[in-house]
């Protein structure tokens, strides 16, 4: 029985296996690259929506509210991108285009929703990121971000 495991694959099985593994690795690399690019774009869009330099607010000022809002926004984008990848079918280029379109739509939804909640609920993102201590409003907006990401992700499916 042990010798059967050591037997090399016949050529007619080895070639399709290598081809499938190569295409699978290419797809993983392509989707991962697109996902990272969408997260980077998402970070900069969130930066535009949050007053001040988001990187400085997080890295230098160590602002917990800005960090929570950015993290929840990026987690939401990640959910949307993952759902887009999961729902894509067909050729790789079609799946990548679908993922790109839904990812950009998700970023837009997140940004608009954050600005709407700022005005409708009256929780000012500007005021939240000025605070140096964690604020309940930042927690609420973070949960809203995640829920909007989940809703959008399920809509993609």
Give the mean pLDDT of the chain.
85
Structure tokens at 7: 């037997």
Encode pLDDT of 130-150 as tens digits.
899 999 999 999 998 899 889
Encode pLDDT of 26-45 as tens digits.
889 999 999 999 999 999 99
3-state secondary structure of 117: helix
CB-facing half-sphere around the CA of 28: CA atoms within 13 A:
6
Q: What is the DSSP letter of 1?
A: -
Encode pLDDT of 76-131 as tens digits.
999 988 998 888 877 888 889 989 998 898 888 878 877 787 788 888 888 898 89
CA 72/CA 64 separation, integer angstroms = 12
CA 79/CA 74 separation, integer angstroms = 9
CB 27 within 8 A of CB 96: no
- Look at residue 75 in the predicted model and tell me its pLDDT: 95
Structure tokens at 99: 């993922």
Query: Positive or negative CA dihedral for 51, 66, 69, 104?
Result: positive
Global pTM reads: 0.80
């Amino acid at each position: 029985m042990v010798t059967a495991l050591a037997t090399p694959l016949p050529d007619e099985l080895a070639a399709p296996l290598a081809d499938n593994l190569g295409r699978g690795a290419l797809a993983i690399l392509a989707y991962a690259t697109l996902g990272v690019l969408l997260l980077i774009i998402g970070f900069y869009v969130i930066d535009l929506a949050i007053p001040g330099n988001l990187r400085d607010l997080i890295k230098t000022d160590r602002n917990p509210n800005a960090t929570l809002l950015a993290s929840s926004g990026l987690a939401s984008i990640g959910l949307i991108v993952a759902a887009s990848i999961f729902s894509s079918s067909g050729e790789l280029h079609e799946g990548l285009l679908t993922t790109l379109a839904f990812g950009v739509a998700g970023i837009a939804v997140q940004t608009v929703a954050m600005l709407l909640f700022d005005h409708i609920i009256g929780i000012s993102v500007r005021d939240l990121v000025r605070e140096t201590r964690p604020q309940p409003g930042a927690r609420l907006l973070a949960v809203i971000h995640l829920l909007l990401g989940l809703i959008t992700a399920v809509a993609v499916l």
